[in-house]
Structures are given as C-alpha cells and as structure tokens.
Structure 1
Amino acid sequence: MVLAVLIVSYFFTRFSFVLTRYKKSIFTLFAFVLMAFLASNLTYSWSFANFNNRLVSVFDKVPLARPLRMNTILQKYGLVDREAIDTRRVNLSEGGLMNYPLNPLNCSPDKDYNILFLFVDTLRYDMFTEEVMPNTWKFAQENVRFNNHYSNGNNTRHGIFSLFTGLPGKYWTSSLTTGTPGVLISALQKRNYEIGIFTGAPLNMPEFHKSIFSTVRDLKVYPRGNSSVESDAFAVEDFEKWQSRLKPDSRFFSFIFLDSVHGYQFPPGEKYEVFKPYWKSINHMELNNSFDPAPYLARYKNAVRYTDDLIQKVLDYLNDKNLLNNTIVVISSDHGDEFNDNKLNFWGHGGNFTDAQIKVPLVIHWPGKKSANVEYVTSHLDLVPTLLPEVLGCSNPTQDYSVGTSIWKEAGRRDWVYSTGWSRDAFVEPHRIVLINAAGALEFLDKTYRPTKDRTIPPYLSEVLKENSRYVK
C-alpha cells in the first residue's frame, strides 16, 4: 500500500513538472484541437442542413464517422428554412457520393407477385404471441416465421434504411445528401410496379422522402389524422382505396407503417384495455432503475393489440379481394423497445443493441411456400437480396446492391448482425455484443450489456469496413 502511494506520488510530481514546463504548449495544442473539432462539426452541420454535397462528402468517406448535426437548432433560430428543406429535391445530375448499385440493374419479367410490407414502429420480438397479437399470430402459423430476426438499426432511420437498400446504416447520409433511392424502389420502378406508401407518421423525420423514397411520385409526406391512432387507421383506409383503384392487371408494392405502438396509443374504451393495470399518463421523468415497468409495458401491449387489429383489417382486405394468392406479405418492425429489461436503466430504443431494442418479429407470406419456423439468424439486410432476384428478376450479382443474402439461404450465413446507432455501431453475436464507436474503438459486452471477458477481435471487422466503403465514390 505504501509502495503504491509512493509510485502515484512520483508520477503526479513528474506530471506536474511537465505540465508547468510545457503549460503554454499543452494549452495551445488543446485549444487547437478543440477549435478544429468545433469548426469541422459546425461546418458539417451547416453543410448537411443545406445539402452541400462537396463538404459533406469529406466526412462520409471516413468509415463509421458521425459528425454533429444541428437541423433542429438551425431551424429554431431561423438559420435554415425548414419548409425549403422539406420541399427541396436534390438534383441527381449533380452527382454525389453514392455508387449504388455498382452496376445498372438488369431486371426481366419473373414472377408477377404483388409485395406488401406491413411494419409496426417499435414492435419488439416477444410481443409476437397469441396473447398479445392473436390475429397476426394465427396468420403466422400458416406462413414462415423467423424467430431470430434483427433490425440493422436501433432506431427508425437506420432500420428502415437497411430494409429498403440492403446496405448498412453508414450509407444513410450519402443517400440523403444525394437523393439516392433504395434499390428496392428502383427495381420496382424498373418493373413498372404501382407504388403506394402509407404511414402513420411523417416521412420527413427521418427524411425518407429525400432518400429511400426520393423517386416515388405523389408521395404523401404527412399523414392524415390528429393522433397516431387516427393516422394509422387512415393509413390502412388509404391503402385499401388506393389498391382498389388500380387497374386489374397492375402489380403493386405497398409499405404500410403503423405508428401507434411507438406512441403507446390506442382507442379509449374496454376493447383495447386488455392488459391492466396500465400507466394512464406517461411521464418519462419518472423512469429510473427502480421504476416498476409492468404498468408501462401493459400500456405498450394495449397499443400492440390495437395495431394487431389493423393488421388483420389489411389481411381481410387482401383475402376478400383474392389477392393473397399472388401477394407476398412481410410483417415486421423497424426496431424494438426496452423496459429496463437488463436493469441498467435503459428505456425505449436507440440506447443499446440488446435483443429488447433490435430483435424484431418477422413473418413472411409467400405464395407456394409451406409454413415453417426458421431458427437461423436473419436481418433486414436480407430482404432486398431475396426480392430482387426471386421476384423482380434482377440478374445482377448480389454484391452489386447489397451486403445481405437471400433470407431462404441457411448455408454460409453469418451468425452475427451488424446494426447501426446514433453514435455507435454494433456486431451482435450469439453470446456477446461488440460495440464500435466513431473513432474505431471497440468495447466488448455480454448480451445483458455488461463487460465480458471475451475480448477477441472479430475476424470479420475488415470485411465490414470494406462493405462500408464499397458503395461510395
């Protein structure tokens, strides 16, 4: 003990001497680094808000970099015109960062299936039970259930982006600043599909209207309704009206994105007050590590039950119109939601990469395929490389447009998932989570988000870094 004190005293004395001797130089260096950090991030923030691709591109070429954005603050103080940003269309002829797909899509007629994505914002994997979602559960028993499916983001932006592009969330900024659409949308348009997007939340936050849906005509950015409950009901109603007006020989793709679960909202009355007692008035300031999550979770489940009825309404419509025999239906979510599952005071989503926040249900109705339970690991990255070759007849190698693989293929599949967050990314392995921050530093955690003794460097790290730069110029 005495020896330890002497050693600490020695190094403290030496450090004090060096600090005194080189105080001015150290202060100058620190000030320079701080000013450079502030200047670069403020420059990026301004450029990002104003779609200055040349400046933004400097940052986007740095793997896993996440510089500061201040759209909300710039709009608040009138430094950026929000309406101008919302309505601006990027001129694709200006070029940009994205080199995606690597080669033009070569798609020829194949199977004439319609495609419907039925997605629920913030639906965690363990809500998919007969008790909570009886309608969807019954439908799933007759179709293909993927029991180890993950979103490639712990937030809406990156989760939905990966779904429509087959790319990691790293490419989000490049897609947004260049107006590059998701390759799924491009392939559908190449095959002359009718495209209908119906959501319970605006498409400008995140800015899907200027990224993955940038080439969709007559896109409705703002939903109808004064609440998520109303907007979701209108989204389903608008889908039915839109589909019923299509020509009989039309092929269609539709994305219905329901928001009530994200807002913990459901219609008043006994019908949806299934789980009791539930938290009547949400106050996030009350959430802490000792807060009982049961009433909060009960309210969440009631919102899920309402959404389950909306899903059934869509399925009933398809059945009544005899569309199920030629329509692929994909039911899933953008990410999960946490109720302090691991007692680390995490609530909601966007905070970590545990199963509570990124593991989601996935059910696929594919005409001609028998019902099954799939246990191998899959992710949203796998939808695009399944649909493009098998439905839309695209003959390009998968590497031209995606880092995923066909969702039906088990052999050679990765047993880990790459997921993107706001300030960190994660490699979610079967028994641990490897975090990587913007500086490239690794952190090793177990599945409960606590430090693990297994600090083995992932052998696939170099492969992921290559994938994160493959589709930029």
Structure 2
Amino acid sequence: MVERKKQMTRDKVSRLVNWGHWFAFFNGFLAMIVGARYLSSVGYPETIIGWGYLAISTIGHFSFLAFIVYVVFLFPVTLLLPYSKILRGYAALVATLGLCILLYDTIIFDDYGIHLSPFAFDLAWTDLNALLKSTSYIATPTAIILIELTAANFIWKRIEKLEKKQLGNKAIAFVGICFVSSHLVHIWADASDVTQITRFDDTYPLSYPATARSFMESHGIEGTNIEDNRYQTKSRQLSYPVLPLQCKAPSLIKDQPNVLIVSVDGLRADMVNELTMPFLTQYQLDNKQFTEHYSGGNQFKTGMFALFYGLQGNYGDRKEFYHTPPVMTGALKEAGYQQAIFLPEDNQRVFENRSIFNGLSVFSNSSEEGSAQTDIKNVQQFINWSAEQGSHWFSMVNLSAPKHYDTPIGFLGVETVKPHIDLKPAQKVLYNQYRQSLFFIDQQLQQLFNHIDNNTVVVITGTHGQIFSSNPSEVNQDLSPGNVKVPFVMHLPKTSSDTVSYRTSHYGVVPTIMSQVLHCNNSITDYSSGYSLLQPSEQNWVYIGDSSTFAIYQNDEITVLDRHGKYRIYDIEYKKRLKQKLSAPELIQVMREGRRLYNQ
C-alpha cells in the first residue's frame, strides 16, 4: 500500500515535470513573439543568411531562457508542492512576470539602447511616464496572465496525449540543434567579419554568443579582417542630416575664407603659458580664447570624430558611420573648397577603411626618428600644399609629438620647473619632458602661421588632453579633466579678440563652420550634437568618450559610466568620489541624443 502511494506520487510528479517542460516550451514561443520588438530597434536582416541566423538564434536563445526560468522557479516547487492547481496558478504568475520584464526590456532597449540593469532601471523609473505612454501597461499584463492560465490548463488536460506522441524528445532536439548551431555560425561570422550576423550580438538580453577571434589570435591565426560588404546593412535607417542642408550658394558668398584646424594630440589646457608655449599664449590673447573647452574624448579616435562630425562618440562605434562621411566636409566640397589633411601614419590607420576623410586629400608621414620629426614633415607638407592652392581651401593639420613626449634629436628646450600639480617622482620626469615637447610644437605652430593670411578661419586645439603616465591602458581609461580639457583658440576674420568663459566642446566646431563659413540655415540638431561656439550651450552637460566608457561632465560633478551600467561620480576636479545617485534627467537626455539620428 505504501509502495503504491509512493508510485502514485512519483507518477504525479513525473506528469507535472513533463507538463512543466511543455509549459516552458510554450513560453519560449511567447518570448520569441515579444522579442521580435527588439528587431524594430536594430533593423531587420536583408539577406537570407541574416534571416537564417536570426531564426535559429531566436529559437535557441528564448527557449533556453524559458527553460532556465522553469529550472530555477518551477522545478523546485514541483518537487515540494506536487499539486497541479497550485502549480498551474504559480507558473502562470511567474511566466507573466517574466514576459512583462522582457516586454519592459524591449521598451528600455528601444529608448536607451541598453538592456535592463540596476543603472537602466533607475534611469527608466525616473522616465517612467515617457516610456509607458498609454494604459497598455495595465491591459497587457492582464491579457498575458489570461493567456498563461488558459495555456497551463490546456496543456495539463492534454499532457497524456502529448506523452503518447513522444514529441518531447523531438522538441528538445530541435531547440538544442538551433542553440548549438547559432553559436557555431556566430563563431564563423566573428572570424570572417560577417557583420550581417555579428551586428545582432547585443540585441537580445543575456545573450553571449560564442566567438572565435580571441582563440584564433592566441594561436597566431588571423581572421579575414575584411569587411564583408555583401552582408552589411544599417541597424536602423540613419537620418544624417535629419533634413537636407540649406546653405548659401557659393556664388553668393563674397571672399570665401580658407579654413584651417590644427589639432595637437595630448595638449592640456593648463599647460599653455608664456614659458612653455609663448607663441600660442600670445595668439590666444589676440583672438577668441575659450577657457572651458572639452574634447569629445580622451583618445585620438573620439576627439577626431567629434571635430569632423560634431556628434557624440557613441555614434562613431556604429557601423553606419564607418561608411558615412561627415556632413561638414560634404558641404565644404559643394562650396568648392579644396580639402586636405596632414597627419601621422599611425593616426591615419585608426580610421582605415572608414569614410571620415572622404573628399580630403590625405597626406600621412612617419619617421624612424620619432613623432616630432613626423610633425616637422607634416607642417612643411601643409605649407607647400597651401601655397599651391589657387582657390579657397579647408585643411586639418594633426600633430602628435606631445602625446609621445617627443622632441627632435638635439632640440634645446625650456628649463625644468616644479610641476603645478601633485605628481609622483616618475611623473615629474614625464611632466618636464612633456613641456619640452610643447615648446617644440609651439615653434612648429609659429612656423606654420607665418604662411597663413589673416583672412583664414583658424582653430587651434587639442585632439585630447594628457595625463602623465607611460601605461597606455591607464591613459585610455582616464576621463579626468587633465585628459579631456584642452585649449581652444579661434581666429575669425574681422572679429575682435575676447575671452569666452562658458563651457564649450569639440561638438561645437562643426556647427560654427557650417553657420559662419558656409552660411547654412538648418537647425544645428539636423547634423550635430553640439551648439555654435559663439553662443552658450543650452545643455548643462557634455558627453566625453565612446559607447564602451564615457563621462558626463556637468556643472558640479563628473559621472563615469561603462556599457554594463556601472558608474562612479566625482567632483568637478575629479579628486573626490561622491556618494550619491545618478542625475537621471541629464542621463536620459544623453541616451536619447545618442540615438536621435536613427528613425524609430
């Protein structure tokens, strides 16, 4: 009798477990339907291979998530409380909650481009009214729980028929094949740079597709490293510019000025003084000097992207901008400008196979003697090029000696001084070597400007700042003012000198050239994240960095975030870590600005 009861209990539990598997399979299917909303955010595939991968990836991923929820929340209850009515009601509630969380995640992802995390939840909770724009947040959960209860009862009544047909093993095999195949296909796509597949890497929550690149590199094997244009597509329809440009016809502009931007890698704002850079110090006094100016990032890539596009650095990480040239250089070309850029070869390779320099003649140099000698070559090459131009021109000259603390062999610099900031002994050596490099660059600037007439619009700034460290990893991760606050001086013909004390950034260079030189009447938001340098910004924050790690500079604090939602808050001097929460309203603006140019 006891054995019979035990057998009946085992049979009942076995039946409930079997029912749980089918219920999980059903919810995996519902999760796929909800997950389709992610595709409206990132765009649909345009090739058969893209659709094929997306199909097996979706089936495998959401079925796996549903099974994990079953194992964690339902299976233990099945063993502890093997009562079908209780279990069906409980399972319906768990499934409803899971689908609602997934649905909420699709809303967060569509609006901010990130998945749910403590950081994203805090952000979304503050912006809840804007995210939940209707009463569907009441109707939808109600509808879901009704579907779940109906499905739970439907499957329970037919569980014996399903067991007799022995479909369970076939369903598990099918899902397993999809799951494994999707990872194998992704390994191939990652090794072969098939972007039609790899662009979906961050689309689904808790998705970590297998990759081959790290394994191949560790064994000395290289992938194709070739951009597979056959499978490239836009994740969304990019609207850049948002509206067609409306600029004054070149024939209506009298005395079109030449435009020159000199961008120095590693040029700190607090190091320009009469002893170290006498020429630049005097040039600032004679023109418009911006004392609170920030780069777009702490590296060449982000700083240069901000100068040419006037957009936040997270746009630069998107594949669309690999093949989209800047609006500014396109407008300059339409206005008849000859265009050229002079930069070190190492910096040119950063943007290899990208469109940032489209329409420009690219002159790159290198020297075995170091970056200072390379800068000498670039300055002389620019002088020769500008002298040969018969019409108006636009040019960028990029110098990099300060970034590498370099000076020419035999160069006589300035005397050693006590650092104006607290530094360790090894850093003090770098500090004074850095000053020698700045003194050298100052001489190069003077030589360059001896060949520039007064009718040229001139910008002199730093691509990024500099911290005194020989550790590249430390330099690249540091978003302190020393690494991002740069000097900025502008010469506008027929404009008096003055000092601008409101905060500006590299994002304002493009709007200023577009409005002052090309006389474009578009709203600046049609093509830029910034504002004209000649007027205070309406934003009380500046975005600095890329999509991996970035900082939000506000009036009284600096917030540093990474892609996983981890954040740290510092005072404005970056010296003290503050124990306070994120300022959500500004961060919401930041997130939306980083996706504004994509059609919803």
TM-score (norm 2): 0.61
Q: Which amino acid aligns with 2:384?
A: K
Which residue is 1:3 aligned to?
none
Q: Is the 8 A contact 1:154 1:350 kept in 2?
A: yes
**Matches for 1:32-431 after TM superposition, within 5 Å:** 43=186, 47=190, 52-58=194-200, 77-80=220-223, 97=236, 98-108=238-248, 109=250, 110=253, 112-174=256-318, 178-207=322-351, 210-213=354-357, 215-216=358-359, 218-220=361-363, 222-226=364-368, 227-247=370-390, 250-269=391-410, 271-272=412-413, 274-275=415-416, 291-318=425-452, 323-325=453-455, 327-339=456-468, 349-410=475-536, 413-421=538-546, 423-431=548-556
Q: Is the 8 A contact 1:198 1:257 kept in 2?
A: yes
Q: Is the 8 A contact 1:382 1:406 kept in 2?
A: yes
Q: Is the 8 A contact 1:167 1:402 kept in 2?
A: yes
Q: SS of 2:341's equivalent?
A: strand
| Gap regions ≥5 residues in structure 2 | 1-71, 77-178
Supply the distance in 1 between the matched residues of 2:429 and 2:288 (Cα, whole angstroms). Answer: 32
Q: Which amino acid aligns with 2:196?
A: R
Supply the distance in 1 between the matched residues of 2:208 and 2:424 (Cα, whole angstroms). Answer: 33
Q: Is the 8 A contact 1:119 1:257 kept in 2?
A: yes
Supply the distance in 2 between the matched residues of 1:120 and 1:431 (Cα, whole angstroms). Answer: 28
Match for residue 451 of structure 1 among 570, 574, 577: 577
Supply the distance in 2 between the matched residues of 1:79 and 1:115 (Cα, whole angstroms). Answer: 42
Q: Which amino acid aligns with 1:420?
A: G
Supply the distance in 2 between the matched residues of 1:164 and 1:465 (Cα, whole angstroms). Answer: 21
Q: Is the 8 A contact 2:314 2:547 kept in 1?
A: no
- Change beyond 3 A, Cα 1:160–1:379: same
Match for residue 465 of structure 1 among 566, 585, 591: 591
Q: Which amino acid aligns with 1:55?
A: I
Q: Which amino acid aligns with 2:376?
A: A
RCO (CA 8 Å, sep 6+): is it higher in 1 or 2?
1
Q: Which amino acid aligns with 2:371?
A: S
Q: Is the 8 A contact 1:155 1:350 kept in 2?
A: yes
Offset at residue 198 of structure 1 (A): 0.3
Q: How many residue pairs get matched?
A: 409
Q: Is the 8 A contact 1:176 1:207 kept in 2?
A: no
Q: SS of 1:205's equivalent?
A: helix
Supply the distance in 2 between the matched residues of 1:184 and 1:311 (Cα, whole angstroms). Answer: 25
Q: SS of 1:349's equivalent?
A: helix
Q: SS of 2:349's equivalent?
A: coil
- Can you list the C-alpha shifts for 1:284-310, whole angstroms capped at 9, x where unaligned? xxxxx9544211100011011111111
- Can you list the C-alpha shifts for 1:402-423, whole angstroms capped at 9, x where unaligned? 111111112x532321111473
Q: SS of 1:254's equivalent?
A: strand
Q: Is the 8 A contact 2:317 2:546 kept in 1?
A: no
- Can you list the C-alpha shifts for 1:303-337, whole angstroms capped at 9, x where unaligned? 1111111111111111xxxx222x11100011111
Q: Which amino acid aligns with 1:338?
A: I
Offset at residue 52 of structure 1 (A): 3.9
Supply the distance in 2 between the matched residues of 1:349 and 1:402 (Cα, whole angstroms). Answer: 27
Offset at residue 372 of structure 1 (A): 0.7
Which residue is 1:437 aligned to?
562
Offset at residue 94 of structure 1 (A): 6.5
Which residue is 2:30 aligned to?
none
- Can you list the C-alpha shifts for 1:157-200, whole angstroms capped at 9, x where unaligned? 11110111111011112257641112221211121210011013
Q: SS of 2:386's equivalent?
A: helix
- Change beyond 3 A, Cα 1:374–1:94: same
TM-score (norm 1): 0.76
- Can you list the C-alpha shifts for 1:181-236, whole angstroms capped at 9, x where unaligned? 122212111212100110134344321651311x235434x414322122111101
- Change beyond 3 A, Cα 1:437–1:277: closer
Offset at residue 41 of structure 1 (A): 13
- Can you list the C-alpha shifts for 1:127-174, whole angstroms capped at 9, x where unaligned? 111111101111111001100000121111111101111110111122
CA RMSD of aligned residues (A): 3.7
Supply the distance in 1 between the matched residues of 2:258 and 2:465 (Cα, whole angstroms). Answer: 27
- Change beyond 3 A, Cα 1:224–1:296: closer
Q: Is the 8 A contact 2:557 2:570 kept in 1?
A: yes
Which residue is 1:282 aligned to?
none
- Change beyond 3 A, Cα 1:114–1:308: same
Q: Is the 8 A contact 1:162 1:168 kept in 2?
A: yes
- Change beyond 3 A, Cα 1:426–1:224: closer
- Can you list the C-alpha shifts for 1:242-291, whole angstroms capped at 9, x where unaligned? 111111xx11010000011111110233522543799xxxxxxxxxx954
Supply the distance in 1 between the matched residues of 2:406 and 2:581 (Cα, whole angstroms). Answer: 42
Q: Is the 8 A contact 2:279 2:443 kept in 1?
A: yes
Supply the distance in 2 between the matched residues of 1:177 and 1:403 (Cα, whole angstroms). Answer: 15
Q: SS of 1:210's equivalent?
A: coil
Q: SS of 1:310's equivalent?
A: helix
Which residue is 2:130 aligned to?
none
- Residue identity over aligned pairs, in percent, reads 27
Q: Is the 8 A contact 1:339 1:346 kept in 2?
A: no
- Can you list the C-alpha shifts for 1:331-352, whole angstroms capped at 9, x where unaligned? 0011111137xxxx99963222
Q: Is the 8 A contact 2:195 2:231 kept in 1?
A: no
Q: SS of 1:163's equivalent?
A: helix
- Can you list the C-alpha shifts for 1:437-473, whole angstroms capped at 9, x where unaligned? 2123433222325421343524222222111112235
Supply the distance in 2 between the matched residues of 1:73 and 1:298 (Cα, whole angstroms). Answer: 42
Q: SS of 2:402's equivalent?
A: coil
Q: Which amino acid aligns with 2:277?
A: M
Deviates more, 1:374-383 or 1:291-300: 291-300
Which residue is 1:9 aligned to?
none
Offset at residue 92 of structure 1 (A): 13
Supply the distance in 1 between the matched residues of 2:213 and 2:477 (Cα, whole angstroms). Answer: 20
Q: Which amino acid aligns with 1:324?
A: N
Offset at residue 388 of structure 1 (A): 0.8
